Structure formats: C-alpha cells, structure tokens
Amino acid sequence: QVNLVESGGDLVQPGGSLKLSCAASGRPLSSTSVVGWFRQAPGKEREFVAATHWSGGSTNYAGSVKGRFTISKDRNTNTIVLQMNTVNPEDAAVYYCAARSTRVIYGLWHDASVYDYWGQGTQVNVQG
C-alpha cells in the first residue's frame, strides 16, 4: 500500500504561483512507478495534469498546463511536486496526487484508471 498525502493548496491570484507537494509513504515506489497529478473542478470530471516516471526523466503534461506547470520528484524524501506558475481561474480545482506501482506505457500516463493509489486532494482556488 502506497499512502499519498497532498499539501500546498491555497488561494492564489490570477497570474500567481503555487507549489503543491505530495508525500509518499508505505510501500516504496519502484523504478517502474509513474507518479502524477490530476485535478477536478466542481461539476467536471477528473482530468490529467502532469505525470513523471519515478526513476527516469520522462514527463507528460496536459496541453492546458504545458509551459506553466512543472512536475518533479525527490526520491530522497519521496515527494512529488507540482510547481504551478501563471495560474488562471480555470486552474481552480481539487488537485490529486496519484501513483502507479508497476510499469505502464507512456501513452497511458494521462489515464486516471491506470493509477493504483490516490491521495485525498488539496484545494486550489484562484481569485483576484
């Protein structure tokens, strides 16, 4: 069992920045694991934001955040970070951290159904 706990959600002004963190504990993530961020706004389906390979450098981003958000990980502290820059009102949502414990092809990293573990979410509000 991998436990994921998100933090960092807050109220941010349009154009501002926010850093979300996800602490992983329990069963260690393996070299084949993939970790990612998803978000869900009220009345909308959960959508992919970004993902990265736990031991490699590959990343994948949703088109709506590419160039503004950056996903990274710290394997020493078992932390997954989402740096959000130039935030806009459409970014307001509950953000969830997710982990896939075994290998999955890059083309499926955006698919929420392939992830085994999920955090409880952290709320991001955008208002000027």
Confidence class for position 19, pLDDT limits 50, 70, 90? very high
Quote the Cα angle for 69-50-103, to 5°: 150
- pLDDT of amino acid 87: 98
115 versus 30: the higher-pLDDT residue is: 115
**pLDDT tens for each residue of 26-81:** 998 888 999 999 999 999 999 999 999 999 889 999 999 999 999 999 999 999 99
Integer Cα distance of 119 and 65 in angstroms: 21
CA torsion through residues 114, 103, 6, 69, sign: negative
